[in-house]
Amino acid sequence: MRRKASTNLFAILALGSLVLIGVLGLLLFSGSENRSSLTADGDRVESLFIYCAAGMRYPMEKVSKAYEEEFGTRIQLQYGGSNTLLSQLEVSQTGDLYLAADESYIRQARDSGLVAESLNLALMKPTIVVREENTTITSIESLASADVRVALGNPDAAAVGKKTRRLLTRSGHWDAIEKNVTENGVYKPTVNDVAGDIDIGSVDAGVIWDSTLNQFDELKAISTPELDAGEAMVQIGVLNSSRNVTAALHFARYVAAHDKGLLVFRQTGFRVVDGDLWADQPELTFFAGAVNRLALEPVIKEFERREGVSIKTVYNGCGILTSQMRGILETDGNGFPDTYMACDTYYLNTVKEFFEPGTTVSETDIVICVQKGNPKQITSLQDLAREGVRVAVGEPQECTIGVLTRRLLQEAEIYEVMLDQNIKTQTPSSAMLLPSVITRSSDAVVVYYTDARNNLDKLDIITIDSPLARAIQPFSVSLQSDFKHLSHRLFDMVSRSRDKFESAGFRWKLGGQSGS
């Protein structure tokens, strides 16, 4: 008698199992109160608990064993369908990491507040699989034949089932295939269960991940355009429920390193991403225009603490920073920044061939600062060119404020006159200009509003009526960085720090949303 399956019946059974597993999970974690705290170096604990998609079992067992041997941290892996695991962690609200077979589950977990960071591991796609000797199944249409017993991952439990249903609904094949599976085949809770049924011959065909196929010598794939269109990204996410976030991130980085975990994934048939180089405690080099310092410093400290990494941050005028970059590249390249946040897009553009396209984070106004009480009665750029007005500006070859000031004065057609008569001082940063007006050695300076706003008791601010009177701060990651993914997570933390930028006087621009 042929095996029959019902999605509704499976859902009922799965619900009962979920409750039982949730209780068992809570019991398991009640014993985890004895976990040791982080050691002095900040990222070692006795154990980590990972919800792991069943299709990742083969590589993850090897990766976890290698990690345990290298660092002494025990890795507890709980396997299941990606959706089943997501439901379990929603119930238990415990655990350290969640490895899903499709990024859509990580996205759901993030939207539900369960996942913080996520790291890409590998690409997979669903494929029809049969035993080597089978010659009758050649297309998607074959799966709808009443003569063919089919196993599919349950769409409400396994990522491969959900992806298959979505793709075949799009192609118009799902209804007929679902009917055949319900009447003549079987739904299974994990991709490994589907592959196992095909392998032992209890069904004629099934749909599994192409990476899973590599674990079975007697099976072969039937490529179809309908399923080839459905690549899925395998991701590992750090759970907000983790009591040891730094240790969880340490393990996630190990799994996602191209010379550690991804080596195993590649060897077991996965198409892996280009991961970061492994380092126990990576060091990022971050070049940042001086205007960004006040907003960035607390973000960087938090990122270092959470990730267990160190960041060598170099603040300076962007002209000086970009000159340093070119000097580094003329030697051995060591010390070239992993990330760069310029004071304005101008100085990112001068080195754009070395960086990914920048993302605008914030902007600040360029203003005139004068002595308290404005004794020279300066109200506009043109007033800076009056006889007897002493002006200090940024040095264009060293800093962005110098370049942008020159542009403003050129637009006002007073730059050459001022250069000959009025500009008495040029400095390598905006912040270095303020002392000259505070000490009255200059009558006026052109600076960023973010630098001037904290000195309102000592000077007055004059706004500049020009669309050019602003600086736009972009963030970018170096093309040659060994830690691109880590650098992008640093950017993610920057992107969640609107409050810090606005409190420092910037207008928030990320995502096209301006601050007030």
What mean pLDDT do residues 43-69 have?
A: 92
Please give the mean pLDDT across all residues of the chain.
90
What mean pLDDT do residues 85-90 have?
A: 94
Check whether domain 126-228 has CATH 3.30.710.10, yes or no: no
pTM of the predicted protein model: 0.86
Which pLDDT band holds residue 7 (cuts at 50, 70, 90)?
very low
Nearest to 475 by CA among 506, 449, 451, 505: 506
pLDDT value of position 42: 54
Contact 230, 107 (CB under 8 A): no
Its CATH architecture, for the domain 282-516, is 3-Layer(aba) Sandwich (3.40)
* CA dist., res. 304 & res. 336, Å (int): 19
What mean pLDDT do residues 454-474 have?
A: 94
Looking at residue 505, what DSSP letter applies?
T
As given in the structure block, the two tokens for residue 485 are 């993914």
Query: Could you tell me which residues come within 8 angstroms of residue 239 by beta carbon, excluding any fewer than 6 positions away?
Result: 89, 95, 96, 97, 98, 109, 114, 115, 116, 248
Looking at residue 333, what DSSP letter applies?
-
pLDDT value of position 134: 92
Residues of the chain with CATH 3.40.190.10: 35-123+232-272, 126-228, 282-516
Taking only the tens place, the pLDDT of each residue in 163-184 is 999 999 999 999 999 999 999 9
pLDDT value of position 415: 94
Residue 350: pLDDT over 60: yes
What mean pLDDT do residues 299-310 have?
A: 96
Residue 404: pLDDT over 80: yes
In three state form, how does the secondary structure of 129-160 look? Answer: EEECCCCCCCCHHHHHCCCCCEEEECCCCCHH
CATH class as words, domain 35-123+232-272: alpha beta
* CA dist., res. 116 & res. 121, Å (int): 16
pLDDT value of position 3: 37
pLDDT value of position 512: 52
Taking only the tens place, the pLDDT of each residue in 149-165 is 999 999 999 999 999 99
Which pLDDT band holds residue 332 (cuts at 50, 70, 90)?
confident
Q: Which residues partner with 476 through β-bridges? A: 340
Share of the chain above pLDDT 90, in %: 86
Backbone phi, psi, residue 421, to 5° = -120, -40
Where would I find the beta strands (DSSP E) of 384-485?
391-394, 423-427, 444-448, 459-462, 470-477
Which pLDDT band holds residue 215 (cuts at 50, 70, 90)?
confident
Contact 505, 450 (CB under 8 A): yes
Which pLDDT band holds residue 437 (cuts at 50, 70, 90)?
very high
Residue 442: pLDDT over 50: yes
Taking only the tens place, the pLDDT of each residue in 259-304 is 999 999 999 999 999 999 999 999 999 999 999 999 999 999 999 9
Contact 363, 450 (CB under 8 A): no
* CA dist., res. 122 & res. 238, Å (int): 17
pLDDT value of position 126: 95
Which pLDDT band holds residue 446 (cuts at 50, 70, 90)?
very high
From residue 165, give the alpha-carbon distance in Å to each of 26, 141, 155, 168, 170.
Answer: 32, 14, 7, 5, 8
From residue 162, give the alpha-carbon distance in Å to each of 70, 136, 205.
Answer: 36, 26, 17
Tally of CB atoms within 10 A around 454: 12
What mean pLDDT do residues 316-326 have?
A: 95
As given in the structure block, the two tokens for residue 245 are 């976030």
Residue 9: pLDDT over 50: no
